[in-house]
Amino acid sequence: MRFSFDTIRASSLLPARFRAGGKLEKHGPDISKSATQTKEAEIAARLARFAHVPVSDVFGLEPTWSPDGLSEETAAEILNTHGLNTPVNERPLAALSILWTALWNPFNVLLTILALINIATNSVPTFVVMIAMVVASTSLRYWQEMKSMVQALKLVKSIVTRVRVIRGVNSIPQEIEIDLRHVVPGDVVAVASGDVFPGDSVIISAEALAITQASLTGEILPIDKFVRVTAADESDPFHLLDNHNICLAGTSVATGNGRAVVVSTGKDTYMAAIAEELNRKRPENTIQIGIRKVSYILLAFMAVMAPAVFVVQGAVSKDWKGAVMFAIAIAVGITPEMLPMIVASNLALSAVRIARQKVIVKRFDAIQNLGAVSVLCSDKTGTLTADLVRVAKSVNTKGELSDLPIKLSFINSLLQTGSRSPIDRAILDYIGEDEKDSFSDVQLDGWSKLGEVPFDSTRRMLSILARRPSAGEGEPLIITKGAVEEVLERCVSALKDEEFSKPIVDIGFDSSSSTTLTEVNRLEILNSAKRLNEDGLRLIAIASRKASLKMGASISTEDEEDLIFVGFIALLDPLKPDAAEAIQKLGNLHVQVRILTGDAPAVAAKVARDLGLFNPLNLTKVTDARSPKDEEAASDMSSERINESRLIVTGPQLAELAKDRELLNETIERAVIFAKLSPYQKLEVVKALRAGGGGRAVAFLGDGVNDALAIRGADVGISVDSGTEIAKEAADVILLEKSLGVVARGVVEGRITLLNTVKYIKMACSSNFGNVFSVLVASAWLPYQPMLPLQLLVQNLLYDFSQASIPWDNVDPEYLERPKTWSAWSIVRFMICLGPFSSPFDIITFAINWFHYKIRTLDSPLVPLAQTNWFLEGSLTQFLRTHKIPFFQSRASLSVVLVTFGMACVSMAIPYIPKINSALQLTPPEPMFYTYLLGLITGYAIVVHIVKNIYLWVFKGEWL
């Protein structure tokens, strides 16, 4: 529908609620604000002011605006006030910020503090070792994140877009091209197929205008837009993403052309509001929370144990200075010095592995977070589906399969002029890809067009007058395709059932081949359409009739009457080929998949049904993290018929439930499909899922502007290289190909990384705790230090270096089946329950030194021998890698075996190496001690295996 600007100039009196109060303010037309009003509500209120008035009154809202466009002077003044139209700026390469993030790690801070204490007490070697650990782990993390950031920034390329606007040049309205950044509120923009709206705009003129807003809503089919003719009622709601005359910045024209007046630009647009939300501080993810808790617990143990050792050692030895040094060594001993290095190595190795799968990891710890994920929220369009419109089937009036509707629609789409819509391309592709020559009659008949009535958003249909050359002077056909209700309204009859099996040339398309439509018939057709819609299919109705010869070569809308209804073309966005397989893999990994989309509920439900997301297997994936009540509900769900309607919730429904937080959370916890969501609602759903089940890790996969907030709010945000700039900026991980299979592989890699890291920290902490426990006993019994601070540090480092190969270690398959995360209390339990069981063997070593070697005084010349004996025994009693029998039930990787064996050999060799043994004050042990040592190691292995099994029984199979 075209409205002349003369009509627009003739503004009628405006309702008071729409009147402007003077000049346009910097942040758009003045609207009332409340303290609780969200940014989204403010934008909606601003745009509703223009959306609810008839097109003839739009320019009456702002005195400086004109249908002839802004003058150059006015535009310059507004540009000076508002600034450039740049809602999203490309971030510079923040090298210092990345360095600070890599450095600011709880364990790095802990090691740095201990290093400073050591340098203050002149313990230079210890200081050097600790600082080296900090530098190594920080450098590795910084290098990997910088490398990933550079790759990510290469994907984000800004292009200067030209926009056609109406400007008053020398007081004469002219259509000129300007840089998108120079568009200002009040500009009248001219748009045609392929153009992008430079700001949030209101339509003032439209001819068959349809826009694509998949990046905001996920709806793959274009949305018709047209001008408002009459004012809206005050009670009429305004939906920001579901209206007929507002086009948001970043959406583009699919078909048709028109003009719009820009209401908001730059930071005042809806897209900019999303970008502003993204600039807020990101919440801690599950892994970061876990690491922080573990750090606090280690600090607490250090705060208790170090002073205790200081008091006991000082009281027994009377050497308080030596007691201070020993207490510092104990503090060092409790700390897993290599943890930052182990974590960084783990993540770097996993990043290399994942990079081979065409994945860029922007944030280092995202790999561990993937391993902890138990819920994957995914956008539908382009992620689970192919992001293409395809013909699903061609059916008659009863919904039964028939080729006739697709044949007629092919002729219509082939002969129409102007740009073809995605629906037209889908129809042509469907016929073109036919391998059985089922449509050779329409492809080879050489149909020619005699006339056309183009599509417009009012009629919502397109008609072609066509004839085959073989028909000679026969009557041509009018072939109409369009929206179901509108086409059916113009039909007076329906094609008889027996006609569908005939070739088109043999069908009369007149009263002899059709039956009159009754109200019952119309209801049956609408019911057929409803059933197809409920199956997630979009429908195009097809109608036809013979045309009179007198019509010549032209037709008009008046000829779109007395049509014969033929059937429907059912369209859908097909599933990606690997989607179902990937969902199955994620299911086997106990990751539940939920769909969050701006698309219609029926469409999302169709996708979920085809992927098996409504199966009990997917619905019960996260019950491990739920309460017993939830588990009971899940059990009932699997034994009874699933009510799909209870698993689907829409954005408007969530908005209604916002008043009852408990009911809202219960609904979010239950639902699998979230449809018609705004970007802010997607974020709220992700937050609620993260908080549910006692706290769980949630990943979000999406590529549109509407996904950016949820991507950033998730524990792991995933986007794709073809996604929008905002989505890629918000993401932790960028997929170079849209595939859930890559995500499934990433989950496995994440779990391997996480489990190997947890394996190290549990072993290190339990070992260190056992050593400290032994030291307390020794301090109260022995008159000499059982091991010098430097010896204790070297022993610690040798053990830590033996664990440097942990990133390459194997993980028992059963541990990869379920999500894992950092559990501070699990580490504490492991440390307290298993650590002290090394102490009896340490005490036996003390007893051997006391009773066999008679080392009982501080000034005994054999004190270095006693310290050497415990150094060796403590270095060789570490068997906590797995709860199974090593080498028989669980085999470590070759690299772990070689490195561990190598470090054991180094430990055995140190007392014999000149200069090194003297520097460490160690001495070669007596040969007889090796007999004791063999017995101690054997006894330790047996006892530890028994204790491991008791631990597994008490804590219900928990190990890592």
Q: What amino acid positions are annotated as catalytic residues?
A: 379
- Give the closest residue to 187 by CA, choosing from 264, 133, 134: 264
Total residues belonging to the chain: 960
Q: How far is CA 184 from the centre of its chain?
A: 33
Residue 682, token pair as written in the block: 């997607």
Tell me the C-alpha distance between 592 and 669, whole Å. Answer: 12
Residue 739, token pair as written in the block: 């595939």
Residue 407, token pair as written in the block: 């044949």
Residue 359 Rama label (left phi>0; alpha psi -120 to 50; beta): beta
Cβ-defined contacts of 641-648 (< 8 Å, 24+): 642/614, 642/616, 644/605, 644/609, 644/614, 646/670, 646/671, 647/614, 647/619, 647/671, 647/672, 647/673, 648/601, 648/604, 648/605, 648/672, 648/673, 648/675
Residue whose token pair is 């403590």 = 874
SS (H, E, C) 626-670: CCHHHHHHHHHHHHCCCCHHHHEEEHHHHHHHCCCHHHHHHHHHH
| H-assigned helices in 318-355 | 320-334, 339-355
Spatial contact of 382 and 703, defined as CB atoms under 8 Å apart: yes
Tell me the C-alpha distance between 61 and 75, whole Å. Answer: 17
Spatial contact of 571 and 606, defined as CB atoms under 8 Å apart: no
Cβ-defined contacts of 12-21 (< 8 Å, 24+): 12/54, 12/56, 12/57, 14/53, 14/57, 14/60, 14/61, 15/53, 15/231, 17/49, 17/234, 18/49, 18/52, 18/53, 18/57, 18/60, 18/61, 19/60, 19/61, 20/60, 20/61, 20/62, 20/63
Spatial contact of 371 and 815, defined as CB atoms under 8 Å apart: no
Q: How far is CA 527 from the centre of its chain?
A: 38
Spatial contact of 483 and 571, defined as CB atoms under 8 Å apart: no
3 φ, ψ (degrees, to nearest 5): -110, 130
